[in-house]
Amino acid sequence: MENGRTLYLVAYVFQIIATCLVAWTLLPLAWMIPMTLATEKAIDEKTQMIMWHWEYAH
């Protein structure tokens, strides 16, 4: 289970970097900030994140 937490942390770091790189745009930034905070909350509370993939929607 520790491997999953490590992947969450790596995803969180990439989200922070991407948010900083796209900070000059408003629409993507409005989506990225809440998703980054949701990832941080999932890491802190040690809950499972639900991931959605386009292939599973069909």
Domain boundaries, the chain: 2-47
Q: Is the pLDDT of residue 57 over 80?
A: no
pLDDT in tens, 42-55: 788 877 666 655 55
Which pTM value belongs to this model?
0.63
With cut-offs at 50, 70 and 90, classify the pLDDT of residue 17: very high
Q: Is the pLDDT of residue 41 over 60?
A: yes
Q: How far apart are alpha carbons 49 and 9 in whole angstroms? A: 12
Q: Is the pLDDT of residue 56 over 60?
A: no
Contact assessment for residue 19 and residue 39, using Cβ atoms and an 8 Å cutoff: no
DSSP summary character for residue 48: P
DSSP string, 1-58: -HHHHHHHHHHHHHHHHHHHHTTT-SHHHHHHHHHHHHHHHHHHHT-PPP---GGGG-
With cut-offs at 50, 70 and 90, classify the pLDDT of residue 23: confident
